[in-house]
Chain A
């Protein structure tokens, strides 16, 4: 595709609900990243995939956060039992192997009430 796409663009959840956020990377990009951007802050790294392998999940804030990329293309970030502190914009980025520049999607804005 022309760029990284994410869906939904906006999500409102009640505290305790589970949510799933989707990322479609640029076609052919083997590397995929998830970042969390709290209001008024810069993005913070959550996790990294190379193809279907999750090589780094050091930024996931708790075991309620889970990410997968089963076929090495589309990725899903799942948050279980959402809390108010999970409210943020979740950004996905992709890049080709060996490329330093990450290309970002528009993000999903999650609001937990």
Chain B
């Protein structure tokens, strides 16, 4: 069965430091992969997505992610974190069937940013 694992439940970084959030997936075919961010009381905002092609994808707010098929990973990175990046981050894989994508989410990583 398809699944997504985010090994880090909570991460704390200092403002200006680099960030990497890990995501591993289990999926039988080429996956559609997504990173979403959720701020308190808000819905999910799409940061970036990977469907095919270049394995390094750029997203909004200075985020990027790299798809590594051999490691079944899609880690999210940012070179310099801002205080406003504090939020919960969700990795998801799209299970495509019957003309639509059913998203399967990881449990999320909560990011705290120290000034």
A binds B: yes
- Chain A residues proximal to chain B, CB less than 8 Å: 4, 31, 33, 35, 40-45, 48, 50, 55-56, 91, 93, 98, 100-107
Q: How far is the CA of A48 from the CA of B100 in the complex (A)?
A: 9
Contact between A43 and B94 (Cβ–Cβ < 8 Å)? no
Count, chain B residues at interface, CB 8 A: 27
Cβ–Cβ < 8 Å partners of B98 in chain A: 55-56
Q: How far is the CA of A43 from the CA of B88 in the complex (A)?
A: 12
Cβ–Cβ < 8 Å partners of A41 in chain B: 107-108
Q: How far is the CA of A105 from the CA of B92 in the complex (A)?
A: 17
A61 to chain B minimum Cβ distance, whole angstroms, is 16
Cβ–Cβ < 8 Å partners of B90 in chain A: 42-43
A14 to chain B minimum Cβ distance, whole angstroms, is 24
Cβ–Cβ < 8 Å partners of A98 in chain B: 99
Given A42-B106, A43-B90, A43-B105, does the pair A106, B49 have CB atoms closer than 8 Å?
Answer: no
B12 to chain A minimum Cβ distance, whole angstroms, is 17
Kindly identify which residue among B43, B51, B94, B99 contacts A104, using a CB–CB cutoff of 8 Å. Answer: B43
List B72-93 residues whose CB lies under 8 Å from chain A.
90, 92
Q: How far is the CA of A103 from the CA of B44 in the complex (A)?
A: 8
Cβ–Cβ < 8 Å partners of A55 in chain B: 98, 100
Contact between B104 and A45 (Cβ–Cβ < 8 Å)? yes
Contact between B104 and A100 (Cβ–Cβ < 8 Å)? no
Closest to B108 in A: A42
Contact between A56 and B43 (Cβ–Cβ < 8 Å)? no
Closest 7 CB pairs of A and B: A42-B105, A104-B43, A104-B44, A106-B43, A45-B102, A42-B107, A43-B105
